[in-house]
Amino acid sequence: MKISIIGATGYTGAELLRILAGHPEVSVVHITSESSAGSLIADSYPHLAAIYNQKLENLKQLEEIAAASDLLFIGLPHGHAMDICRSLKDGSRVRVIDLGADYRLKPDVYEKWYKVKHTDAVTRPVYGLSELYRSKIKNGRVIANPGCYVTASILALAPLLRDKLIDAGSIIIDAKSGSTGAGRGVALNLHFSEVFGNFRPYGVAGHRHTPEIEQVYTEFAGEEVVVTFTPHLLPIDRGLLATCYAKLAPGAGGGDIAASFARMYGDEYFIRLLGRGKYPALKAVRGSNYADIGWEIDERTGRVIVMSALDNLVKGASGQAVQNMNIMFSLPENTGLAQAPLYP
Amino acid sequence: MKISIIGATGYTGAELLRILAGHPEVSVVHITSESSAGSLIADSYPHLAAIYNQKLENLKQLEEIAAASDLLFIGLPHGHAMDICRSLKDGSRVRVIDLGADYRLKPDVYEKWYKVKHTDAVTRPVYGLSELYRSKIKNGRVIANPGCYVTASILALAPLLRDKLIDAGSIIIDAKSGSTGAGRGVALNLHFSEVFGNFRPYGVAGHRHTPEIEQVYTEFAGEEVVVTFTPHLLPIDRGLLATCYAKLAPGAGGGDIAASFARMYGDEYFIRLLGRGKYPALKAVRGSNYADIGWEIDERTGRVIVMSALDNLVKGASGQAVQNMNIMFSLPENTGLAQAPLYP
Amino acid sequence: MKISIIGATGYTGAELLRILAGHPEVSVVHITSESSAGSLIADSYPHLAAIYNQKLENLKQLEEIAAASDLLFIGLPHGHAMDICRSLKDGSRVRVIDLGADYRLKPDVYEKWYKVKHTDAVTRPVYGLSELYRSKIKNGRVIANPGCYVTASILALAPLLRDKLIDAGSIIIDAKSGSTGAGRGVALNLHFSEVFGNFRPYGVAGHRHTPEIEQVYTEFAGEEVVVTFTPHLLPIDRGLLATCYAKLAPGAGGGDIAASFARMYGDEYFIRLLGRGKYPALKAVRGSNYADIGWEIDERTGRVIVMSALDNLVKGASGQAVQNMNIMFSLPENTGLAQAPLYP
Amino acid sequence: MKISIIGATGYTGAELLRILAGHPEVSVVHITSESSAGSLIADSYPHLAAIYNQKLENLKQLEEIAAASDLLFIGLPHGHAMDICRSLKDGSRVRVIDLGADYRLKPDVYEKWYKVKHTDAVTRPVYGLSELYRSKIKNGRVIANPGCYVTASILALAPLLRDKLIDAGSIIIDAKSGSTGAGRGVALNLHFSEVFGNFRPYGVAGHRHTPEIEQVYTEFAGEEVVVTFTPHLLPIDRGLLATCYAKLAPGAGGGDIAASFARMYGDEYFIRLLGRGKYPALKAVRGSNYADIGWEIDERTGRVIVMSALDNLVKGASGQAVQNMNIMFSLPENTGLAQAPLYP
């Protein structure tokens, strides 16, 4: 299988390269970077030295790249994937997994939250939360790979919403992410001296992952769901934990919660159910495609607290993208992804 | 003024020493440690070398220590301060600030959450949240210095509860603390290799600071308040951030919130009101006695999110203890505490 | 191939399990732990949940374990491997890779630096620095896997010593290691609050890896080499960097240095030569078996500075152990070890 | 005393503000920033909110600022202080402490290492290593505050060079600094995700602090000294440790070393001599103006290893600048600087 990566010098692109280096069925044929075209990938990422000796190319060769590839991963800032997919429309049989936001939301919602015109009304994207949309992904042409916060939040509460075990109007998600979720672009608020030993909320009540979470929650709940979502920046590089709160539905109890999780995820390779009273830790998933889920019931207040942890660059981005690729090409879903977490 | 520190080799004891080194009205006359009696404090804490040349003593000299002191700070694990205060009862005029939990809760609540018999029914402790109980602290004999999570949580929501701006039944506190909150006792879950780069919840729906938060909330709300409280361990040494969620009361809006905070804290030296849309960061309070408070309204869900940040060892423990001492001895409240935060 | 791990709950044991999970030719048949026998490995290491479902066993079953295994990895504190190897002597055909210190030094040197009697005079161990002793390792019965500091130090200077390009009496090694090198045993000087944001030297002029470095240097130099070696504790979990200083031999220059490295390591899979003026970084090797080597000449003082970086738990311990296993069983040397580094 | 800070939004400027907030004899009358003129300092540095309510001004007002000030601190990148001092020449009685490099080196050495023309041949600067040049500093008009690496390196070896206890040709300094030493300017190599958990050398055999170290060493040794100096970037915000190696002079031993340190630093407030076999740790000096010095003799190789630790922003920059100011204005040298280190 031949794949190419459009936008290989962002963190999600580099992480795709890391993962695909161990994928037995894939060869990486083209990698692009507008800022570093012509240089070796190892000049941008020394950890890839001796693993990839490829030069970064330019998007000008898009047509040629697409023709040589079975699949394109797109790791560009939002707004660009639409242009690429539009320009690929006619004739190209290449499939696409977009790690950005362009195809995650309904166009009107996208335009409202991203303040950008949506320019591709033709593509029928499939939402790439692997465990929940597996059969659609299999046949998808363009996959919208979910956001990192979104993956953690959806995995945590989708079963409970589907099974009506929680009050859909009561959901609060307090999420914490490592810095790589913010990308490689330098900025004062990502300057090492400013983040080290620090911790702070950001994007309170206005983060763009909110509507994406709501869109999937709404689908699973069968009713419109609106949530309070608060992201925080952890002073670490990788890892994302979502602490999700909801009122238990009348009559719902611990047994129902356990059964609901088991029903939806009992056979999932990448979801590890820790059960009640066991809580996930970021380091137990670092570098892997696992999502760990634990939960607790606060009997005094009638709330359930579901905690999910994942590596934002793996299950929260590039790992899930490879999982989706495996689904699309009928490979065992964990091909190239069975790496154990790096602990400690 | 002569003070002594009972239990000087825990982190709160060492932090008292750090702060008092810059306090112009205090001399430290005795410091004790059961484990290190006889050695220099600098043997336990090299940062105090050349600042304190005192030897650690034994609790056996308690009576003598009390007689030589105007005030005792007690920095021992819960269960010990009761014994000390009981044994001081008769005749001693020494005043006490207990940094542990023994006097924070009503005895029956204490026994339920701490699984320890409360043995001092005589003492009438004063709760030492400086800004809220100032006049009682002034005349208190035994001050129960609040827990770190508690200080952050109370400061965040007390005004809104008092002014009936939030639904008291809807409160969720998602809190994150640095490792020094867990003390100096070694344990696998505090081993450097296990905590570095990690992040995890703990004590979900069962942490002992919960009833302490509820006790004060209840007082300010004028109705019984029960909360969901979830602590997390941050992979840093100092700092604590509480993200507090509540439903707005009908009709309450941003103007009311702002006015409520201004009314209660407008003149407070140690509380910095960042206002709506500005969020606190741990590093902006590091090493200082400040509590920074910011907030946001989630218009879509009708919730207010209040975020408070403090240094768990300063405003969350030893700094507030010194603030209380200043109040008790009619010194300007910021004496010895005006140190600017250490940033970056 | 059947392998067992004696002492699987230390960091090197857990790291063996992580690596072997991706090794196609190996099945782990027994794992032991004296402290946790009877429990699941995932109870000790949550990152291994769903990967290993094995129970930890007791050393009492050693004979049975050895009989069922082609190879034993021993991950115990020094002093224990000797006992195990002695008790295996007669009849057993099992091969051994010891990750501890028992077989690294000549017995008299061992006794002097480790203050322990060496009790196994029969075994003829092979020193397991894979790149330098490959042919002996292939046929070895008991392999002494090198220490982490030692691997970095030897790889950095062995070629230059062999080629007489540096003054063997002038070597200074200033080394810095992450905390996992100190193991999982809790201690105040490894308590998170004490190490976070800290940095300090330790074991100055007396660390036990010194004679091990000297032993190999001496062999390559063809003359007795004594070095100054100073380790430091980095406030990170993984990674080790050695900055090695030596006087250039008369007439030796940059071209000679480059040629020497190329000659010794030009074909090595796990050694990445960065060349002159390029310096290694810990993160570029994290989680991988690579050792990155860069160097510089200080023309003003006539010294060469060689910097080598590796992951102390991988190339510095368990990864090199698996590399040695591959050599011993005639597998391609990078089998199960080709994982790209985890960056960022 | 009225002081102004030219370049107040760099880390050294902000650190001056932090320290001076606790200085009883100083009022800060003007602060400037070319990039943020017109805004509040708290907009750039939230930790200073409620402490400083001043607006940042523009250098255009330099003449007026100088006239209103007894002392100017200059915290600008190298090349700017020369211009300012030149333009102040005539008539102004304001004194200057430059935290940059312009006046640290002899002009020809400066031009060679900084690749900038030195444009102020008139000023007779005094080198501001407080403990070593105290009497000259007292009467200096323009003080060149030393670099952070330089302060640590000089304090470590100056006594031994003066007393001829080490071979001046054998000095190697392996130094490690936190990220704030690199300033607040954003760059990929200071991006949080790149530095976190990482460690790497830089500027090997070419760092600009090298000639500054040599200049002072040469003066103390009474012979020309050339050193090998290797800086490394620690993944922490503050703190600098220099591990300094030198051959002992014939006949020199531990007693001589101890006596030499005691002679030079025995009465120094800010230098804590840990003695032989005790090693400094960064956290024991964090936030303070202390320099801690420990040492060891490697009997096997005849070398002495001296380790010095300081906070690069305090004793390595702004703290020493305030110490120099105290000297210049005949205040007790520790006025405003007696803050205990922030540990843990």
Which residues of chain B make contact with C192, given a CB cutoff of 8 A? 179, 190-192, 194-196, 235, 237
Residue C14 lies inside a defined structural domain of this protein: yes
Is residue B14 within 8 angstroms of chain D, CB to CB?
Answer: yes
Cβ distance D193 to A237 less than 8 Å, yes or no, reads: yes
Nearest to A47 among C21, C49, C343 (CB): C343
User: Which tokens belong to D287?
Assistant: 């936030």
pLDDT band of D206, cuts 50, 70, 90: very high
Cβ distance B191 to C196 less than 8 Å, yes or no, reads: no
Q: What is the pLDDT of residue B148?
A: 98
**Residues A206, A80 within the same domain:** no
User: Which tokens belong to B266?
Assistant: 């407008």
**Chain C: residue whose CA lies nearest to A21:** C340
Residue A199 lies inside a defined structural domain of this protein: yes
Cβ distance A281 to B193 less than 8 Å, yes or no, reads: no
Is residue A100 within 8 angstroms of chain B, CB to CB?
Answer: no
pLDDT band of D91, cuts 50, 70, 90: confident
Q: Which of A134, A153, A165 is nearest to A213 (CA)?
A: A153
Cβ distance C187 to B186 less than 8 Å, yes or no, reads: yes
Phi-psi region of D108 (alpha: psi -120 to 50; beta: other; left: phi over 0): alpha
Are the C-beta atoms of residues B239 and A239 closer than 8 Å to each other? no
Residue D139 lies inside a defined structural domain of this protein: no
Question: Which residues fall within 8 angstroms of residue A255, CB to CB, at 6 or more apart?
Answer: none
Is residue C199 within 8 angstroms of chain A, CB to CB?
Answer: no
**Chain B: residue whose CA lies nearest to C192:** B192
Cβ distance D200 to C235 less than 8 Å, yes or no, reads: no
Q: How does DSSP assign D129-160, residue by residue?
A: -TTTSHHHHHH-SEEEPPPHHHHHHHHHHHHH
Q: How many CB pairs under 8 A join A and D?
A: 64
**Chain-centre distance of CA D68, in angstroms?**
26
Q: What are phi and psi of A7, to 5 degrees?
A: 90, 65
Cβ distance C237 to D197 less than 8 Å, yes or no, reads: yes
Are the C-beta atoms of residues D47 and B284 closer than 8 Å to each other? yes
Are the C-beta atoms of residues B10 and B76 closer than 8 Å to each other? yes
Which residues of chain D make contact with A184, given a CB cutoff of 8 A? 188, 191, 193
- For residue A249, give Cα distances in angstroms to A303, B55, B67, B267, D233: 9, 60, 60, 44, 53
**Chain-centre distance of CA C150, in angstroms?**
7
Q: Nearest CA to CA, how far is D145 from chain A (Å)?
A: 22
**Residues D118, D247 within the same domain:** no
Q: What is the pLDDT of residue D102?
A: 97
Q: What is the pLDDT of residue A90?
A: 72
pLDDT band of A91, cuts 50, 70, 90: confident
- For residue B101, give Cα distances in angstroms to B75, B76, B81, B82: 10, 9, 9, 10
Q: Which of B336, B337, B339 is nearest to B24 (CA)?
A: B336
Is residue C22 within 8 angstroms of chain A, CB to CB?
Answer: yes
Given the residues C31, C66, C148, C274, select the one marked as catalytic.
C148
Question: Which residues fall within 8 angstroms of residue D93, CB to CB, at 6 or more apart?
Answer: none
- Structural domain tally of chain A? 2
Is residue C187 within 8 angstroms of chain B, CB to CB?
Answer: yes
Average pLDDT over residues A48-57: 96
- Percentage, residues of chain B above pLDDT 90: 97
User: Which tokens belong to D67?
Assistant: 């006239």
**Residues D99, D160 within the same domain:** no
Q: What is the pLDDT of residue C207?
A: 96
Preceding amide of C344 cis, omega within 30: yes
Give pLDDT tens digits for B102-150: 999 999 999 999 999 999 999 999 999 999 999 999 999 999 999 999 9
Evaluate if residue B89 carries a pLDDT over 80. no
Given the residues A5, A48, A148, A328, select the one marked as catalytic.
A148
Is residue B344 within 8 angstroms of chain C, CB to CB?
Answer: no
Task: Determine the Cα–Cα distance for residues C52 and C44; give it in Å rounded to an integer.
Answer: 12
Cβ distance A192 to D196 less than 8 Å, yes or no, reads: yes
Which residues of chain B make contact with C13, given a CB cutoff of 8 A? none
Task: Determine the Cα–Cα distance for residues A151 and A146; give it in Å rounded to an integer.
Answer: 6
Residue C341 lies inside a defined structural domain of this protein: no
**Residues A162, A58 within the same domain:** no
- Percentage, residues of chain A above pLDDT 90: 97
pLDDT band of D129, cuts 50, 70, 90: very high
Task: Determine the Cα–Cα distance for residues A90 and A102; give it in Å rounded to an integer.
Answer: 19
Question: Which residues fall within 8 angstroms of residue D91, CB to CB, at 6 or more apart?
Answer: none
Paired sense of beta strands B291-298 and A271-276, if any: unpaired
**Chain A: residue whose CA lies nearest to B225:** A301
Evaluate if residue D89 carries a pLDDT over 80. no
Residue C141 lies inside a defined structural domain of this protein: no
Residues of B marked as catalytic? 148
Are the C-beta atoms of residues D305 and D275 closer than 8 Å to each other? no
Interface test with B, best of A112, A196, A204 (most B CBs within 10 A): A204
Task: Determine the Cα–Cα distance for residues D137 and D120; give it in Å rounded to an integer.
Answer: 19
Cβ distance A239 to B197 less than 8 Å, yes or no, reads: yes
Residues of D marked as catalytic? 148
Evaluate if residue B35 carries a pLDDT over 90. yes
Domain residue limits at A96: 2-123
Residue D336 lies inside a defined structural domain of this protein: no
Domain end (from C108, C123, C138): C123
Which residues of chain C make contact with A287, given a CB cutoff of 8 A? 287, 342
Evaluate if residue A78 carries a pLDDT over 80. yes
Which residues of chain C make contact with B33, given a CB cutoff of 8 A? none
Cβ distance C47 to A343 less than 8 Å, yes or no, reads: yes
User: Which tokens belong to C103?
Assistant: 């077989």
State the residue for tokens 């507090």: B244
**Residues B183, B291 within the same domain:** yes
Q: Nearest CA to CA, how far is A150 from chain D (Å)?
A: 21
Cβ distance B184 to C192 less than 8 Å, yes or no, reads: no
**Chain-centre distance of CA C122, in angstroms?**
24
Give pLDDT tens digits for B234-245: 999 999 999 999
Measured at the CA of A94, the angle between CA A92 and CA A98, to 5 degrees, comes to 120
- Label each residue of C59-105 as H, E or C: HHHHHHHHHCCCEEEECCCCCHHHHHHHHHCCCCCCEEEECCCCCCC
Which residues of chain B make contact with C196, given a CB cutoff of 8 A? 179, 192, 195-196, 235-237
Cβ distance C237 to A14 less than 8 Å, yes or no, reads: no
**Residues A71, A199 within the same domain:** no
Paired sense of beta strands A126-127 and A142-144, if any: parallel
Is residue A285 within 8 angstroms of chain C, CB to CB?
Answer: yes
Give pLDDT tens digits for D7-41: 999 999 999 999 999 999 999 999 999 999 999 99
Paired sense of beta strands D228-233 and D172-177, if any: parallel
Are the C-beta atoms of residues D146 and D164 closer than 8 Å to each other? no
Cβ distance A49 to C22 less than 8 Å, yes or no, reads: no
- For residue B212, give Cα distances in angstroms to B122, B322, D109: 20, 21, 64
**Chain-centre distance of CA A238, in angstroms?**
13
Residue D257 lies inside a defined structural domain of this protein: yes
Is residue B251 within 8 angstroms of chain C, CB to CB?
Answer: no
The rounded average pLDDT for each run of 10 residues, N- to C-terminus, in chain C (344 residues) is: 97 98 97 97 97 95 95 96 88 93 97 96 96 98 98 98 98 98 98 98 97 98 98 98 98 98 98 98 98 98 98 98 98 97 98
Is residue A11 within 8 angstroms of chain D, CB to CB?
Answer: yes
Q: Identity (one letter) of the amino acid at B32?
A: T
Q: Read off the pTM.
A: 0.98
pLDDT band of D90, cuts 50, 70, 90: confident
Q: Would you tell me the crossing angle of helices C148-162 and C254-265 to the nearest 10 degrees?
A: 120
Helix (H/G/I), strand (E/B), else coil: A159: helix
User: Which tokens belong to A130?
Assistant: 């692997």
Which residues of chain B make contact with C15, given a CB cutoff of 8 A? none
Evaluate if residue D52 carries a pLDDT over 80. yes
Which residues of chain C make contact with D232, given a CB cutoff of 8 A? 176, 241, 243
Q: What is the pLDDT of residue C92?
A: 85
Residue B10 lies inside a defined structural domain of this protein: yes
**Chain A: residue whose CA lies nearest to C193:** A197
> For the domain that residue B28 is a member of, what is the CATH number?
3.40.50.720
Nearest to C342 among A283, A287, A338 (CB): A287
Phi-psi region of B324 (alpha: psi -120 to 50; beta: other; left: phi over 0): alpha
Is residue B340 within 8 angstroms of chain D, CB to CB?
Answer: yes
**Residues B153, B272 within the same domain:** yes
Interface test with D, best of A193, A196, A282, A342 (most D CBs within 10 A): A193
- Percentage, residues of chain D above pLDDT 90: 97
Are the C-beta atoms of residues C148 and C154 closer than 8 Å to each other? no
The chain-wide mean pLDDT, for chain D, equals 97
In DSSP terms, which residues pair with B232 in a beta bridge?
A: B176, B201
**Residues B29, B104 within the same domain:** yes
Q: What is the pLDDT of residue B72?
A: 98
Cβ distance A49 to C17 less than 8 Å, yes or no, reads: no
Interface test with A, best of B190, B200, B226, B312 (most A CBs within 10 A): B200
Q: Nearest CA to CA, how far is C74 from chain D (Å)?
A: 29
**Residues A166, A256 within the same domain:** yes
Other beta carbons within 10 Å of A278 = 16
**Residues D79, D206 within the same domain:** no
> For the domain that residue C252 is a member of, what is the CATH number?
3.30.360.10
**Chain-centre distance of CA A184, in angstroms?**
17
**Residues C74, C159 within the same domain:** no
**Chain D: residue whose CA lies nearest to C306:** D204
**Chain-centre distance of CA D162, in angstroms?**
21
Evaluate if residue D285 carries a pLDDT over 80. yes
**Residues D216, D293 within the same domain:** yes
